[in-house]
Amino acid sequence: MLPEMIKACSRNLPHKAAFLQGKRSITWREIDARSSRLALVMKACGMGRGDVTAILSHERLEVYEHWFASIKTGGIRIGINWRYSATEMAHILKDCCPKVLLVDAACADKVPEIEAELKEIGCTVIGFGDGHGLSLDYETLLSDTSGDFDAVVYSGDETVLYTYTSGTTGVPKGVMISERAVATALTNTALSLGVEKDDIFYRPAQSSWVVLVGHSSGLANGFTTVIPDGVFDVSTFLSDIARLKVTRTVLVPTVLQRILDEYRAHEYDITSLRTMIYGASPITPRLLRETMETLNCEIAQLYGLTEASGGYVSYLRYSDHLRGLTDRPELLSSAGQIGLHFEANIRDDNGNVLAPGEIGTLWLKGDSIMKGYLNMPDLTDAVLFPGGWLCTHDIGYIDDEGYLFLKDRKQSLIITGGVNVFATTVETVIAELAAVKEVAVLGVPDDEWGEIIVAAINLYDGVELSKEEVNIHCSNKLSRMECPKRIHFVDEIPKTMNGKIFKGKLKEFLINAK
């Protein structure tokens, strides 16, 4: 299906922009032709069906040429996050053994650090971009190659993508995703969001992981996708919205606050922006209201996970947000209704399905569920079950209208004095305080309580807030067991490469903090 989708966009929308990057652009016909030439190059390098091909890059048009070429060859694509350490990169190379690695000039300084592993697995390295300094050059190889490439035919079950998790705990693990899963995910992303052919969709997230699938959803109907010019920058992002007349974008809440600050500090014409979508982590009601008032556009929320191919599991639409601001305020804390390409239920620890409103673990079934974790059969067996069901380890409930309410990740549940406390519940309450810019709540070991609740709070510049004020606010909103026993004001809350709060690193800091 994926090769046919590429060809359909090329055939029917030949001169329409497929991707925009800074001052660069590429049409659907151009990316089809260039990816076919790259597929021929990769085949000459020994790439065959089922072989792995990797890319180490900032955000570039070449990322999508490489992805489409991999699809056409029947290969398996991986993206290596350029922010990874040499140790993490070496782990990935040994884990999946790519035949070909494309390297952006901006990342060429990483190659010597992993040279031994590249030689060990016999990987051909090709550089692109000015000044990469590598022996094989991308554009030279493409210019020396001509002709079309006969794409492979898929049954749907073949693996086309390994996507490595952000590795907040332990080494990154590879999630195996099939061709059918990618096609299902990107098609339903476009359908569920109501993206139109003439939309210009800015997707700033890093393409080295599963969001590549969402970035490719223009294949569903030919809409144009905008990517950052190398590395995401807040001011450039807002300028690009104005310059390119962007109509939609998707952001993580941690970046959203920076966007609002920059927008208010300078003048940007973003009147073309119709929809701002947020996802990847919860948003506080205060930040939600601030966003709606400041950006003056429709708001929507997505909830997804890597193990579901980045094919968003649920959607809280703009109409749901309006209901939340009027007659049903609890909807603002919902992740929305389950997408039609999934079957979902909530189960207890024994796997029994629970009634609407009862809290348990979210289970999912659908064509975009992963095939498993690469080289990790035990971990795969712990989450994939007969009948195609995935146990997500996300805790929450589904109400009688079908809205999903997530309480927390199972591993984020705090057990203090034998009482279960959801960190997100405490975070939401603390975030109501006007001085609070960001907050993260964790459980840290304690001899008496097992775990105690600790809050890390980042304040807006120029404002003050005392621990006593936080304690009083929490005691008025939370039970005694839910109130933090320790509060730390911090200059910054650490983030993962994908913009999520790096709770492993933060926990280490809080354990040692006094």
| Structural tokens at position 274 | 């119709």
Q: Give per-residue pLDDT as tens, 245-263.
A: 999 999 887 788 889 989 9
Domain coordinates of the chain in residue numbers?
2-176, 233-409, 413-512
Give the DSSP H or E segment for 212.
helix 211-215
Q: Give per-residue pLDDT as tens, 308-337.
A: 998 789 999 999 999 988 888 888 889 999
Please give the pLDDT value at position 167.
45
Distance between CA atoms of 337 and 405, rounded to whole angstroms?
Answer: 9
Q: Give per-residue pLDDT as tens, 364-404.
A: 999 999 999 999 999 999 999 999 999 998 889 999 999 99
Is there a common fold for 233-409 and 413-512?
Answer: no
CATH-assigned architecture of domain 2-176: 3-Layer(aba) Sandwich (3.40)
| Structural tokens at position 38 | 């790259």
Q: Give per-residue pLDDT as tens, 100-117.
A: 999 999 999 999 999 999
Hunting for tokens 């975030």 — which residue is that? 431
Q: Which of 29-38, 157-166, 167-176 has the highest mean pLDDT?
A: 29-38
| Structural tokens at position 179 | 């061709």
Distance between CA atoms of 158 and 154, rounded to whole angstroms?
Answer: 7
Please give the pLDDT value at position 169.
46
Q: How many residues make up the chain in this entry?
A: 514
CATH class of 413-512: alpha beta
Hunting for tokens 């591993």 — which residue is that? 411
CATH-assigned architecture of domain 233-409: 3-Layer(aba) Sandwich (3.40)
Give the DSSP H or E segment for 431.
helix 423-431
